[in-house]
Structure 1
Amino acid sequence: MTRTSVLIVGGGLVGLSAALFLQYHGVDFVLVERRTGASVLPRSRGVHTRTVELYRQIGIEDRVQEAAATALKAGAFGGARHGRNLIEAEGLDLSALHRKGIGGDPSPSTFCFCPQVLLEPVLADLARERGGDLRFGTELTAFAAGPDSVTATIGGEQIEADYLVAADGAGSPVRTELGFGGWTLPPTHRYLNVFVRADLTSIVEGRTFSQCDVANDTVRGIVLAKNNTDEWSFHLEYDDTPPGNPLEQIHAAIGRDDIAVDVLASSTWDTRVHVADEYRRGRVFLAGDAAHQHAPWGGYGANTGIADVHNLAWKLAMVLNGRAAPELLDTYEPERRPRAVLAAQQARLRTDFFARYGIENETNAAEVAEQIDTGAIMTRYNYTDDGYVDVLSGQVGTRLPHGELSSGQSSLDLCGPGFVLLAGPDAPDFGTAVPVHRIGKGTELDGDWAELTGLAADGAVLVRPDQHVAARSDSGLTPANLTTFLP
């Protein structure tokens, strides 16, 4: 029987990210994926700034950005159009979207456009280069979770693991086997997603886009760019059954029937919402689409799932290494589930195409009014009250603010793999329980300490491995009680 610390079920973006985060923390794993390779559908396309920060922490930001640089052959990511077809579609005024602060939170990283079909192979290659045991083309056929371990049958082989992380997608066999219930909302739309190769360069030249909403007598749907030249996804809306002849609808969406279209892959999906009632049962954890599914509007799905496993990985590492009690793992669900509910609610508010871009009209005004910006959903959330803050200033439960240091680093670069203490230039001696970094005039890390944290020069901030603030000197942290804030 093979023995491992963590069995990861699912080799999509979330499962592969879990593997890389566990490697960063020195935890061995086995990852199994029934597919033989990466997804052939682009699916997720936008890697949010916060997600790029997570990849930065484990040293792969450059590789991800390099992959993103190969995605677009013409035009830039962004922009939206609406019309009878691609030829007649007109651009939308996106000023309302930008007023909501999209991408406005200070960060050492930047959003990147990197479709799942490009990103998955990069993550898999990196995990293998770092010694990971990845088994594609291998399926989990049975598992049993006991009080001390999880045993599983993988392609006829028996594996024993301390913990199992189920990142096995929206139809999660692990979730189904465990009988988890969930919060659900029925679908508002059903789509056939058809990924095609069709040279539309001349049609979209000078008017490229991220999404184009089309509607005429033959087709209703959305066209998504993959490279803005010859690879596109057509999401064809249907009522009861998927269209039997997608080429007819694709040509109607383009506005010309003489364009050669090569169908590369297709699948159906809908906008139903499901967030599992439980994220953990014993030694089994749900993450990504296995835990939460909703419409892709806003790109919150995969990015939320990657943040799930970033949160879970350091906690598993500390428990497995004996640095924390198993009760630390009980914090995973209450910290991450509310984030999925919020993302699902916000995606639902963007169902209307114009509402998606913050453009208010007489039918969507209520939905637009309830929207919050992407930074609040993905970066400025607060684990202590399930809410979010308007500005990151080192509040307990929030992501440490980004501050530029004279070393060229970001304050975020000082975090991990364990807890760290950031201290002002006049802060007292906090001992050696955790690494200490002094920031401010006259220290080795020259930076604006007061602007970063809102603390006086003798203040200090304790930061978790996931870059979230655990304690502050103005809310009880002292050298004498530092260890009480550690797991």
Structure 2
Amino acid sequence: MGTIEVPVLIVGGGGCGLSASVFLADQGVDHLLVERHPDTSRIPKAHYLNQRTMEIFRQHGIADDVLAEAAPLELFGKVRWMTTLAGDGPMDRRLIHEMDAFGGGELREGYEKVGPVLPAKLPQMWLEPILRRHAENRSPGRILFHHELTTFSDEGDHVLAEVRNVETGEITTVKAQYLIGADGGRFVGPEVGIRQEGPPGLVNTTTAYFSADLSEWWEEGTLITHFLSPEDPDLSSNLIEMGPSWGKACEQWGLHFAPGPPGRWDAETVIPRIRELLRLPELEIEVHKVTDWIVHAHLADRYRVGRVLIAGDAAHRQPPAVGLGLNTGIQDAHNLAWKLAAVVNGGSPDSLIDTYEAERRPVGRENVDWAVSAASHHQVVIDAIGAGHNIPAGRRLQRLEAYFDPSENGDTVRARALEIFHTHRGGCQSLDMEVGFGYEEGALVPDGTVRPARVPMRNVHVPTSRPGHRVPHAWISRDGELLSTIDLTGTGGYALITGPEGTAWTEAAERVAEKYSVPVVTARIGEGGDYDDVDGGWEAVRQITGAGALVVRPDGHVAYRATEAAEDPEQVLTEVFAAVLDR
């Protein structure tokens, strides 16, 4: 194919890489994506799309397509612990505990209050084709599956790479200003000396992906069901719907076995194990794949080396607890895309790209640590009812019988366990981990305030308009159209939000936008302004007066906050945009 010149080369066509393609295209950045596999993933893997990710998908016109295939919240908003799925023994099919999770049940109102769209459940094998379709529609001919990066070098002012067509062997030279490694850390990061910091692989987990009709026994409405065997800790596992239908109609499943040695089962030998675990000896099962995978807790020591950047699993790998992995990767891409656009198309210097690591690596650190903590604590929950691996086989049944004992002693056992179960809200109700992260330094202008204290379990989110944080959500309307304050930034543009007395800010913003050649939407919210404040929601969270102003970046994070009017708003905004765009 000769040589292709593009501003950005993306290596990796998974959830992070395809999202990066969509985000760059929406901001007018030409790019090429290469993926060594012939198609998107055939393994469900990540299956929870958190609230912040769905907001980003909404911003880029993807959310409706995701929601058309995803499980609605009422079909996945609980976590359950049970003894077995079926069976007729005295300890079979016993519900140990259930709790609302990820915005379901009584949590829903809290999630609806802080965002314009709710979380969704859609495994990666169903999500990636949607992302690929959007990427190909936006960038025809630029999304190359079955093409692998073989070599690359940073030449100082550009990256020179060779890409091989896996099917034909044909080599194409690619000259790009920047290379994004979204390849899970397989090649790009190690090639430029990026190291993964963290302990060796924590444990090996075996997962069986299979099809079966479980409608007779399945309790729908569950994101994940943990089975805690009364007899054998190796029969403890968790079962997850993998679609493409949901609830009792679900056809495909993912069964994660308790940690154990790799290679213990294959597609044939795992079938009797599944039947034994579920207490369904005659169940018809079609196994699609058995995988062994290592649970990691790694964070890259750098997110950038020269003109090479990494994102997603190439930058951070964590236990699946809390569902932060893929979501963090998509949010990496969202942060990086507008900055690349500002440099490639907007005249900002290369140094703006340094703010990507400054902002996203601390979030990666926090999310890895939180996932490790949640996963470790779940073992405490299991131990609390006597089903952990450390409980001798002869005592497991005794401990679980005591849990279900209808006596007063049983009441005490259950009350104690309930207090331990309640602590799991840090793992499955951590709304503030989904939408509450903020940047302390980077492409923003600090206002000197201290970061608000966070609820320790992260199960409550308190909105803030402090610079670095996601702009608070509130419903506003104009000419009968209802939208969220988060919608104001659109794709690639900034927002200047003020109150009815903020006309000087909006007029100044229009002049500064022209000066810097950046799109800025201005919005005076409140009585007498451009937008109505529906039910006073914006006034309750804005943390500025009606004469103050917020500048919101293209990624929805606040770049600047003025709580009051300014003597010279044009000069202020000129300095703000100079700082944010690093000009």
TM-score (structure 2 length as normaliser)? 0.77
| Residue 422 of structure 1, CA deviation | 1.0
Q: Distance in 1 between matches of 2:220 and 2:153?
A: 56
Please give the per-residue CA displacement for 1:304-352, whole angstroms capped at 9, x wherever unaligned. 0000000000000000013322111111112111111111111112225
Contact 1:189 1:237 in 2 (8 A): no
Out of 241, 245, 266, the residue aligned to residue 225 of structure 1 is 241
Counterpart residue number, 1:254: 278
RMSD, aligned CA:
2.9
Counterpart residue number, 1:113: 121
Out of 94, 97, 103, the residue aligned to residue 99 of structure 2 is 94
Contact 1:236 1:249 in 2 (8 A): no
Out of 142, 146, 151, the residue aligned to residue 142 of structure 1 is 151
Counterpart residue number, 2:499: 424
Counterpart residue number, 1:204: 218
Out of 372, 382, 392, the residue aligned to residue 463 of structure 2 is 392
Mean alpha-carbon deviation: is it higher for 130-139 or for 379-388? 379-388
Please give the per-residue CA displacement for 1:253-285, whole angstroms capped at 9, x wherever unaligned. 211221111111232112221100100001111
Contact 2:23 2:337 in 1 (8 A): yes
Contact 1:211 1:225 in 2 (8 A): no
Counterpart residue number, 1:182: 196
Please give the per-residue CA displacement for 1:80-134, whole angstroms capped at 9, x wherever unaligned. 3334432234252316987889736511111111111111001101111123411
| Residue 40 of structure 1, CA deviation | 1.0
TM-score (structure 1 length as normaliser)? 0.91
Q: Distance in 2 between matches of 1:310 and 1:97?
A: 22
The verdict on how the C-alpha distance between 1:85 and 1:242 changes in structure 2, with shifts beyond 3 A counting, is farther
The verdict on how the C-alpha distance between 1:111 and 1:359 changes in structure 2, with shifts beyond 3 A counting, is farther
The verdict on how the C-alpha distance between 1:315 and 1:208 changes in structure 2, with shifts beyond 3 A counting, is closer
Counterpart residue number, 2:571: 480
| Residue 49 of structure 1, CA deviation | 1.0
Contact 1:47 1:303 in 2 (8 A): yes
| Residue 456 of structure 1, CA deviation | 1.5
Consecutive unaligned residues of structure 2, counting only runs of 5 or more, are: 87-91, 165-170, 386-415, 443-450, 455-460, 514-519
Is 2:516 the partner of 1:442?
no
What letter is aligned with 1:224? I
Counterpart residue number, 1:167: 182
Is 2:434 the partner of 1:413?
no
Out of 443, 455, 458, the residue aligned to residue 547 of structure 2 is 458
| Residue 23 of structure 1, CA deviation | 0.9
| Residue 239 of structure 1, CA deviation | 2.9
The SS at the match of 1:465 is coil
| Residue 242 of structure 1, CA deviation | 2.7
Counterpart residue number, 2:39: 37
The SS at the match of 1:402 is coil
Contact 1:94 1:357 in 2 (8 A): no
Contact 1:21 1:309 in 2 (8 A): yes
Consecutive unaligned residues of structure 1, counting only runs of 5 or more, are: none
What letter is aligned with 2:251? D
| Residue 368 of structure 1, CA deviation | 4.1
Q: How many residues are paired up?
A: 483
Counterpart residue number, 2:53: 51
Out of 259, 263, 266, the residue aligned to residue 242 of structure 1 is 263
Q: Distance in 2 between matches of 1:359 and 1:96?
A: 21
What letter is aligned with 2:465? G
The 5-angstrom pairing of residues 313-332 of structure 1 reads: 313-332=337-356
Counterpart residue number, 2:557: 468
Counterpart residue number, 2:390: none
| Residue 221 of structure 1, CA deviation | 2.3
Please give the per-residue CA displacement for 1:192-222, whole angstroms capped at 9, x wherever unaligned. 1111011111121568552333434353322
Counterpart residue number, 2:408: none
Mean alpha-carbon deviation: is it higher for 227-236 or for 330-339? 227-236
| Residue 48 of structure 1, CA deviation | 0.6
Q: Distance in 1 between matches of 2:49 and 2:85?
A: 26
What letter is aligned with 2:163? I
What letter is aligned with 1:282? G
| Residue 241 of structure 1, CA deviation | 3.0
The verdict on how the C-alpha distance between 1:176 and 1:367 changes in structure 2, with shifts beyond 3 A counting, is farther
Contact 1:52 1:111 in 2 (8 A): yes
The verdict on how the C-alpha distance between 1:224 and 1:206 changes in structure 2, with shifts beyond 3 A counting, is closer
The verdict on how the C-alpha distance between 1:326 and 1:359 changes in structure 2, with shifts beyond 3 A counting, is farther
Is 2:149 the partner of 1:128?
no
What percent of counterpart residues are identical? 32
Mean alpha-carbon deviation: is it higher for 286-295 or for 79-88? 79-88
| Residue 474 of structure 1, CA deviation | 2.6
Q: Distance in 2 between matches of 1:264 and 1:336?
A: 36
The 5-angstrom pairing of residues 75-90 of structure 1 reads: 76-87=75-86, 88-89=92-93, 90=95
| Residue 160 of structure 1, CA deviation | 0.7
What letter is aligned with 2:235? V
The verdict on how the C-alpha distance between 1:322 and 1:354 changes in structure 2, with shifts beyond 3 A counting, is closer
The verdict on how the C-alpha distance between 1:207 and 1:10 changes in structure 2, with shifts beyond 3 A counting, is closer
The 5-angstrom pairing of residues 213-362 of structure 1 reads: 213-215=227-229, 216-217=231-232, 219-227=235-243, 228=247, 229-244=250-265, 245-352=269-376, 354=378
The verdict on how the C-alpha distance between 1:203 and 1:359 changes in structure 2, with shifts beyond 3 A counting, is same
Please give the per-residue CA displacement for 1:269-303, whole angstroms capped at 9, x wherever unaligned. 12221100100001111100010001111110000
| Residue 376 of structure 1, CA deviation | 2.0
Contact 2:10 2:181 in 1 (8 A): yes
Contact 2:547 2:564 in 1 (8 A): no
Counterpart residue number, 1:28: 30
What letter is aligned with 2:576? F
What letter is aligned with 1:420? A
Q: Distance in 1 between matches of 2:69 and 2:208?
A: 23
Q: Distance in 2 between matches of 1:111 and 1:356?
A: 27
